[in-house]
Amino acid sequence: MAVRLVFFGRQGAGKGTQSNRLSAHYGAPHISTGDMLRVAVANATPIGLEAKSYMDSGQLVPDEVMLGVVEERLAAPDVAEHGFLLDGFPRTVVQADALGRFVAIDVAIDLQVPEDVVLERISSRRVCQNCGRIYSTEAPPASGWTCDTCGGEVVQRADDTPDAVAERLAAYANETQPTIDWYASAGVLVSVDGLGSLEEVTERLIVAIDARLAG
Ligand code: AMP
Nearest CA to ligand 1 atom 8: 34
Find out whether the beta carbon of 61 lies less than 6 Å from any atom of ligand 1: yes
Give the pLDDT confidence score for residue 1 in this predicted structure: 75
**pTM for the full predicted model:** 0.90
Residue 100 burial (CB count, 10 A):
14
Residue to probe by mutation, ligand 1, list 30, 60, 161, most atoms within 8 Å of CB = 60
- Domain ranges within the chain, ordered by starting residue: 3-113+196-214
Give the pLDDT confidence score for residue 40 in this predicted structure: 95
Mark the ranges of the chain whose per-residue pLDDT is less than 50.
Answer: none
Find out whether the beta carbon of 205 lies less than 6 Å from any atom of ligand 1: no
Find out whether the beta carbon of 86 lies less than 6 Å from any atom of ligand 1: no
Class of domain 3-113+196-214: alpha beta
DSSP string, 73-88: HHTSHHHHHHEEEEES
DSSP β-bridge partners for residue 146:
143, 153
